[in-house]
Amino acid sequence: MMVLAVDTNYNPTLGCSSTSEISTALGCIPVNPAQLSLWFLEKLLPVIGGIAFFLMIYGFILISTSEGDPKKIQAAKETVTSAITGLLFAVLGIFLMRLISVDILHIPGLTK
């Protein structure tokens, strides 16, 4: 028979600056929903930008290695266009969310 020991001294906020945050593998994550959405947006935009950047580089490599084939050139142009369009949608979506939540609805805790 196996017995598991339970650590009664576990503190989920250990290492965080305040008690309203939980320490995870991603860092200290806020518990408050307003602060959590702000934290999520701060982490999300660089990831989206990085993905779009690498997709654009991939599209440019496809263009340079297309050997003049119109189908390959068209596919590469669509890759670059899709990356730019996705980045614009993400930036405009974040802008609209901040505009609606902070400027129009005045939700407390989202201003920074």
pLDDT in tens, 15-46: 777 778 888 887 788 888 777 877 887 888 88
Structure tokens at 100: 């609606």
* Pair of tokens at residue 52: 């779009």
Give a yes or no: residue 84 inside a domain.
Answer: yes
In a domain, 8, yes or no: no
Q: Output the pLDDT for position 60.
A: 94
Q: Is residue 25 part of a domain?
A: no
Range(s) of the domain holding residue 68: 32-104
Length of the chain measured in residues: 112
In a domain, 75, yes or no: yes
d(CA 101, CA 94): 10
Q: How many domains does the chain have?
A: 1
Residue 64 lies in a domain: yes
* Residues paired with residue 22 on neighbouring β-strands, in sequence order: 29
Domain assignment present for 14: no
Tell me if 83 sits within 8 A of 55, measured CB to CB: yes
Structural domain contains residue 27: no
Is the pLDDT at 7 greater than 60? The verdict is no
| 13: three-class secondary structure by DSSP | coil
SS3 content of the chain, % helix, strand, coil (to 5): 60, 5, 35
In a domain, 47, yes or no: yes
pTM of the model: 0.65
Cα distance between residue 111 and residue 60, in whole Å: 39
The chain-wide mean pLDDT, for the chain, equals 82
- DSSP-assigned letter for residue 87: H
